[in-house]
Structure 1
């Protein structure tokens, strides 16, 4: 399929042009093999693994992740995905009727549902900041969010990189302004780690949750929740377990609560250090070079498709990471198909041209766009193939 020479490091279907890394990621074969070996080690002697070996293995994995994120490992907890991280924080909030929670109209649907559910239980109000679209600017995004802050605002839930629109939001400025207003912050960073540089030590966020299975390319069910030290005492995992009343004094209650929430398969998170090494070793410049190369690839692909379709870019280059959106003309049948409500054009691209790329009605039908991803295994030829298919289908 004329992909990158690095594609051989993955077990992706060779018949498919896979331009949708952003949805579920894709794990290198070497990492998947290591996960298989870990599972075999677990099943060979489960008591030895869980009771004697797991804790130091988790410490090692958390240490590697902390170094990558520029965070104290003791401020990190492993969770199954970013949605679980968002729910963990929201279910631990203690608010009063009349308080307000802010989010944006670009927030990921699952996280927005969790916010609405939590707000309904507590009798508080969800306030939605409407970000300019298309043609946003970083300052316009900051202004749109800050305009919604009132003395009743207690928390901001915001994406690092929007799933629907692939916008890299100006987090540093927004979080700085929120701190000035005394508002706590929860960042849904599902797409952040590994797509853009990230230092949790300097970001100044209260809570940050991110996936390791997307741009870090760890196995599925590997994600983390960062909690600032002064907020940890008020947080509990979704499953309260033995750590709640453990008499141990050698580890924090936060650590005891989150490291054991019941029997589960920990192999995905234990593979995070290897995933970091494998991905960081793909290019001579390591992770900085990989992130820069993926971003350059996404920008070049966006330029190519915009020119082929005769549309303008949705946002300035500075708001693009390793994903980008391209507007599509109205007029193609818009009724989604079951079972996952995929756009008909997305199905046509997949079944007729063997191209996997997501298409979204945004902000509502008939307006829509495609969201392309750029990972090490992708090549410019694949985006050209996508352009050919779109021209044929939309002609």
Structure 2
């Protein structure tokens, strides 16, 4: 990968190839023109809420206008066909059969849909396995299933501490399965990330999926930080369940996520959340007032889930096409944001006089998130992180998630096509100013 990244405000027309030839800069400051950020705001936290482009937001408004112009015509008869085109587009991107993918509002909804549909064994031995770095809302979903599962299911945390190597993560999973069995339990399903939230690092989700298969454990991949940020081949990985937000790294308008359930498990997913017209009761089917546009019961179930604005779902194909035609396609995008995360993290750490979070093999950083250590002790920062986050928004018009892990304080930065090295250097400087203000006691006067 070429690490010669363009600098914000640079007058240089292009970067140089290895042979010295000039090549056009596709990304960085010039790409900001496609997004609708406030000119005074630097979005260094794409990983939380994503961002959509101006062109795709026009598409969104177009679909919303069609729904307003003739609600019954569009919602009943036209939207299902556009929805199927989006399903086909995302299925091709993920290398999955079209009839295995549907849309839900977000990854948390997808995880809830899977866990709330699974039937837990009456012998009360089933366990849900999860890593301690699980996303908070998904962790609370596990808690809810356990709390209100009539004691039929319990949970088991798999503890990992970063930095660590992939083999250590796999060993921790296998040890948890063994411990579950030794204690008279049964590991039923394991939830794990493609790229975790805090810290923002890549997990060996492909190998964990394989380990689940070998152990007879269902695999549920939380790819909230997935599609549009890392390459994903679902046919090759073959998980039991997978969900990924499209409104984050893919640039689809909020709120939209893809839910993948292979044909072998679709009979397990009997209801959407909430249950709607697609559900077929055991005692017989009630009248469905909406036309069925698909042969698949699974797809029909998710085609209409109450009255909500599904126009973001309809934008998925448009977004994938836009990324190809305007930005050059997935390979170019991923190469840039991965390189920027790696080089930008180093730049920010250099400013702070610290380091980035990574393992010796470098597998943790093969994504578009980077974690930079703060030059604060846990004692200094324990009461200051929330103040720092609020102050960076108020005084510096940006936001960077801050968190504690393994006895250190960290900042998570997101790399995107509209950012460049200068943004990461600037981020390091802002973080350094905040650290100096904490050391000076500013946070205690707030």
TM-score range, shorter chain: over 0.9
Gaps in structure 2 of 5+ consecutive residues: 1-7, 10-27, 280-284, 437-446
Aligned to 2:13: none
Residue correspondences, number:
386
Deviations 1:16-74 (A, max 9, x none): 12100000001001100111111011110001011111211111110011111111111
Aligned to 1:126: 155
Q: Quick check: 1:137–1:315 contact (8 Å CA) kept in 2?
A: no
Deviations 1:114-162 (A, max 9, x none): 01111222222211111122x2111111111221014411100111110
Aligned to 1:238: 273
Q: Quick check: 2:381–2:409 contact (8 Å CA) kept in 1?
A: no
- Look at both structures and tell me which one has the larger radius of gyration over its CA atoms: 2
Deviations 1:56-99 (A, max 9, x none): 11111100111111111110111000000000000011113121
Aligned-pair CA distance for 1:381: 1.0
Distance 1:370 1:43 in 2: 43
In the alignment, which of 423, 429, 435 is matched to residue 388 of structure 1?
429
Distance 1:51 1:195 in 2: 33
In the alignment, which of 60, 74, 86 is matched to residue 49 of structure 1?
74
> What is the TM-score of this pair, normalised by structure 2?
0.83
Aligned-pair CA distance for 1:310: 2.5
Aligned-pair CA distance for 1:250: 5.4
Q: Quick check: 1:359–1:369 contact (8 Å CA) kept in 2?
A: yes
Aligned to 1:142: 170
Q: Quick check: 2:351–2:425 contact (8 Å CA) kept in 1?
A: no
Aligned to 2:241: 207
Q: Point out 4+ residue stretches in structure 1 off by more than 4 angstroms.
A: 246-250
Aligned to 1:24: 49
Aligned-pair CA distance for 1:345: 1.3
Deviations 1:280-300 (A, max 9, x none): 33434x211101110000001
Pairing 1:192-341 to 2, within 5 Å after superposition = 192-235=226-269, 236-244=271-279, 245=285, 251-284=295-328, 286-316=329-359, 317-320=362-365, 321-328=367-374, 329-330=376-377, 332-335=380-383
Give yes or no for the alignment of 1:107 onto 2:106.
no
Q: Quick check: 1:86–1:209 contact (8 Å CA) kept in 2?
A: yes
Deviations 1:228-247 (A, max 9, x none): 11110111211222222378
> What is the TM-score of this pair, normalised by structure 1?
0.93
Over the residues paired in the alignment, what is the CA RMSD in angstroms? Answer: 1.8
The 1:272/1:250 distance shift into structure 2, 3 A limit, reads closer
